[in-house]
A and B are shown apart, each in its own frame.
Chain A
Amino acid sequence: MPGRITRDDVAYVARLARLRLTDAELDTFTQQLSDVLEHAGDISALDIADVPPTSHPYPLANVFREDTPVPSVDRGEVLAQAPVAEDGMFRVPPVLGEAP
């Protein structure tokens, strides 16, 4: 298992997750996450390289829908819930760059 989670690691994941932390929060969260990960260290000792992972507890395959249209939800109802709407669209502050 990798080394202890650092303050920098926590700052990094906070940035990835779009969360802003104060210095004090950064300290607290680093400690708490470190405790949890340390507890999770018990599984690091397991030699399970050959064990396949399970991502779905009840394995199913080939679940489909037919290519049949359903009516759109009402735009007005959805936009009424939007923080800011304009011209039938969702308005956001400048996005700064293209999608990655």
Chain B
Amino acid sequence: MSDARSIAEAVRSGETAASEVVDSSLAVIAEREGEIHAFNIVLADEARAAAEAIDRRVAAGEDPGPLAGVPVALKDNICTRGIPTTCSSRILEGWCPPYDATVATRLAEAGAVLVGKTNMDEFAMGSSTENSAFGPTCNPRDTTKVPGGSSGGSAAAVAAGFTPLALGSDTGGSIRQPAALCGVVGAKPTYGFVSRYGLIAFASSLDQIGPLATSVADAALLLDVVGGHDAADSTSIPEAHASLAGVLGEGVSGLRVGVIDELSGEGVAPDVLHRTGEAAEALSAAGAKVEEVSVPATTYGLSAYYLIAPAEASSNLARYDGVRYGLRVDAASTPEMNEATRTAGFGDEVKRRIMLGTYALSAGYYDAYYGKAQKVRTLIIRDFATAYESYDLLLSPTSPTTAFALAEKTDDPLTMYMNDVCTIPSNLAGQPAISVPFGTGDDGLPVGVQVLAPALGEAAMFRAAAVLEEAAP
């Protein structure tokens, strides 16, 4: 399948029927979904009906929009009216939201065709998509390996050619890390760039929806469609942003790029470091001024993140109590019913984080844990601000390693958490970052490099990403 931009052009011009595009997407899915398990649900009938509607509009001389006929997959934590939205959790199994997420509405208005909801780590808690109640997703590049997570289903769907575009959500790296491990482009925009309305919350002050695509241009196109102010999300940035798809050819000449010391050393595999070095050279060759830079507080990102995110999650996930929707395990009283429901409905990783977060907020521990973590967040923002006084962009690996084997890290939560060490600082700071495929590691599996930018620095970030994509080995 070709890229989203070409598909939309062909559909809008009447050269290709959306129905054909969707059929070929469904055919690829039929072929490989059994071994990959990217989806929690494939919406074949709905997708065909939507594609036919697009074709009728084109035939009637209308323009269905910039994503006309482009098949898209949505991470299964994005609400879709009347379509099951589960967060890959037993607790929401079968639940159909009575409303659409803002991004789902914007995609439909842009002519995109939803073909399925993708698998994920339960409630987006994980880095391997193994924490799904419905079984893991496999990496399309090597099905014995994890696709990364938590947007592993979305990354795998794009990498397997099921859909050219997918949306994921990124709380601590959950778009960028699976993008890196699956060899696709994945971006986390500035906090507030994309509406969270209808995104089922994991950690509200960190969550952002973002694009996964086979190319930087497609990622920009998708972000252009779903981004922008939304009155339904109080944290949505009011200012309009310029088109990202329009800046891609501008190059990096004259830009100053800092390679983050703290994220490019200990704990990162040598082959990944090697590719990061090559990426720095590529930017330099394209005219950027590249240097090493220290952003000291990023060292504390992991610690702060694993207090803040669970704390917010413990509150966000309280509503799954068996009263209004989702699973109920009956019991003699409401408190016991709540407990039986939550005990049966949540997997271990979710329970672990709920308890960790409850502890971090509980009487007597708030100041030492949650309060302190929020201060560290300030330090990280300050250190980034200092770095951005001298640099336009920063560079680091996306993930410390290439894709690891299924079940390799499931017994050791802390080791699993280390996967997010390079991606977490951007979430804590609310700043954008993008992962671009940049060659392979010693094992032949994809390596991603990460370009970081200050808040609302998406344009420069995408320009650098386009340069890296062009230069990738």
Query: Residues of A with Cβ closer than 8 Å to B?
Result: 1-2, 5, 9-10, 12-14, 16-20, 29, 32-33, 35-37, 39-44, 46, 48, 51-58, 60, 63, 65, 73-74, 77-78, 81-84, 90, 92-96
Contact = CB atoms under 8 A, between A and B. Distances in A.
A36 B414 contact: yes
A71 B302 CA distance: 44
Contacts, number: 179
B469 to A, nearest CB: 27
B468 interface: no
B334 interface: yes
B333 A13 contact: no
Contacts of A84: 328
Given A43-B304, A74-B98, A83-B322, A96 B335 contact: yes
Contact of A93 (B299, B327, B330, B359): B330
A52 B376 contact: no
Contact of B334 (A39, A46, A81, A96): A96
Contact of B235 (A2, A60, A93): A60
Given A42-B300, A73-B99, 6 more contacts: A18-B342, A19-B342, A46-B379, A54-B375, A60-B237, A90-B324
Size category, B interface: 35 or more
Interface of B: 95-96, 98-99, 190-192, 205-206, 231, 234-235, 237-238, 299-300, 302-304, 306-307, 314, 318, 321-328, 330-340, 342-343, 346, 351-352, 354-356, 358-359, 362, 364-365, 368-369, 371-379, 381, 413-414, 417, 427-431, 455
24 contacts: A1-B368, A2-B365, A16-B362, A20-B340, A20-B343, A32-B352, A36-B413, A39-B302, A39-B414, A42-B300, A43-B304, A43-B373, A44-B368, A53-B375, A55-B374, A60-B235, A60-B238, A73-B98, A81-B325, A83-B323, A92-B334, A93-B330, A93-B331, A93-B334
